[in-house]
Amino acid sequence: MKSSGVLPIVCQTPEETRQLGQRLGRKLRPLDVVCLAGNLGAGKTTFTEGVARGAGFKGAVMSPSFGLVRPYRAPKLTIYHIDLFRVSDLETGEIGLEDCFGDPNGAVVIEWAGAAKLYLPKDRLEFQIDYFKEGRKISCRALGPRSQDLLRD
């Protein structure tokens, strides 16, 4: 599969991580899928908050761990924030993920996407967030032309 990345970016503060997410959120289109990988507390939700802001969502953004999916409805796009931490492949069948991935007005940002493999499109954007000194190092890979487009300035 064709994939391409960009150089890792170091975000020294949560605000920088949010701003990076915001840049992506401004460009996100319906049916885009963004996967966020990284250890507990790496900054996946912080990044997602930026994405939601960039897409024009004004309300509260928080970890959906217990609800599993939080829809952030902005005027032009709904961002489905999904968190599958400790969710098994079997359980994902009960969450209604097909409604999120199939919403023609929605894009998906997903933390701990492992259990959603069946739902993920081949062409998606994958971020990896790692602890780096006092901040975080964020790397990104586009798995196809559609997601590659999101990385252009």
Ligand X SMILES: Nc1ncnc2c1ncn2[C@@H]1O[C@H](COP(=O)(O)OP(=O)(O)OP(=O)(O)O)[C@@H](O)[C@H]1O
Q: What are phi and psi of 26, to 5 degrees?
A: -65, -25
Site string for ligand X, 2-41 (x = CB under 6 A): ---------xxxx-xx--------------------x-xx
Site string for ligand X, 83-122 (x = CB under 6 A): ----------------------------x-----------
Residue 74 CB: number of other CB atoms within 10 A?
18
Q: What are phi and psi of 44, to 5 degrees?
A: -65, -45
Nearest CB to Mg ion, comparing residues 32 and 111? 111
Among the residue ranges 8-16, 57-65, 121-129, 144-152, the one whose residues contact Mg ion (CB under 5 A): 57-65
58 in Cβ contact with 77 (< 8 Å): no
* Dist CA 132 CA 69 (whole Å): 29
Among the residue ranges 27-35, 42-50, 88-96, 140-148, the one whose residues contact ligand X (CB under 6 A): 42-50
Judged by CB under 5 A, the chain residues 74 through 133 that form the site for Mg ion are 111
Strands 135-142 and 125-132: antiparallel
Strands (E) in the chain, as ranges, are 4-11, 33-37, 69-73, 78-83, 106-111, 125-132, 135-142
Q: Does residue 45 touch Mg ion according to CB under 5 A?
A: yes
Which position among 24, 136, 142, 143 is part of the footprint of ligand X (CB under 6 A)? 136
Positions in the binding site for Mg ion (CB under 5 A) = 44-45, 63, 111
